[in-house]
Amino acid sequence: MEIRRAEYSSPGEPGKRGFEDLECFKLALDVIVNAHEFARKLPVEEKYDMAVQVRGSAKSITANIAEGYGRYHYLDSLKFYSNARGSLNETLGHFINARVLSYIDQLYFEQLYQLCRQTEKTLNGYMAYVRKQRAGQDLYGGHAIREESAGYKPGDDSETLFSEETNLPD
């Protein structure tokens, strides 16, 4: 089986469209096309299991890239790009499972593997670029929000869970 490329052409002006201009998004579209082709070839017993999961994880890649692109602060964007990378690796995990279960041959698996790794490399590069640009930091600041540490330690029993300083109603 041969790796297919997504047939998509944005109607907007090149370079001024948005997330669909990103190389990582274009490669993620290729992953979707191939994940759907792959799912159609799975045995019937995988129709509602692996097929559904691989289609969903592949679509999540582009959805998270698009949503991250729409966020203003770079840290918010990076969270979604990180989610996209996680979905990409989930998709690759399904391809690995299919190879181990002998649903696909080695050559086709290697092609899917290379597509996923190329997509991941491109996404990582874009994430590094976004991190370097730090868009939104001037307006919103670069401060991290953290919760205070918990007033207990793991392993404390219920009688000593809260310190006397905790003002709980009687």
Q: Answer yes or no: is 114 within a domain.
A: yes
Percentage of the residues of the chain whose pLDDT score is greater than 90: 65
Q: How many CB atoms lie within 10 A of CB 78?
A: 15
Band of residue 141 on the pLDDT scale cut at 50, 70, 90: low
The answer to whether the beta carbons of residues 78 and 142 sit under 8 Å apart is no
Domain that holds residue 106: 19-140
Instruction: Give me the mean pLDDT over the 49-78 stretch.
Output: 96
Residue 48 contacts by C-beta under 8 Å, 6 or more apart in sequence?
A: none
Q: Answer yes or no: is 100 within a domain.
A: yes
Closest CA to 62 of 107, 87, 25: 25
> What is the domain count for the chain?
1
Q: Answer yes or no: is 53 within a domain.
A: yes
Q: Answer yes or no: is 156 within a domain.
A: no
In CATH, what number is assigned to the domain containing residue 83?
A: 1.20.1440.60
Angle, helices 74-100 vs 106-133, to 10°: value is 170
- Among 35-44, 67-76, 121-130, 151-160, the least confident range: 151-160
Higher-confidence residue of 157 and 116: namely 116
Q: Does 86 have pLDDT greater than 70? A: yes
Q: Does 168 have pLDDT greater than 60? A: no
Question: Whose structure tokens read 């997330």?
Answer: 19
Q: How many CB atoms lie within 10 A of CB 126?
A: 20
DSSP 43: -
pLDDT digits (tens, 9 = 90+) for 153-165: 666 555 544 445 5
| CA 113/CA 125 separation, integer angstroms | 18
Q: Answer yes or no: is 6 within a domain.
A: no
Q: Answer yes or no: is 164 within a domain.
A: no
DSSP 40: H
Supply the pTM of this predicted model: 0.77
Helices (H), the chain: 23-40, 50-69, 74-100, 106-133, 137-140
| CA 126/CA 130 separation, integer angstroms | 6
The answer to whether the beta carbons of residues 16 and 53 sit under 8 Å apart is no
Q: Answer yes or no: is 66 within a domain.
A: yes
Q: Answer yes or no: is 111 within a domain.
A: yes
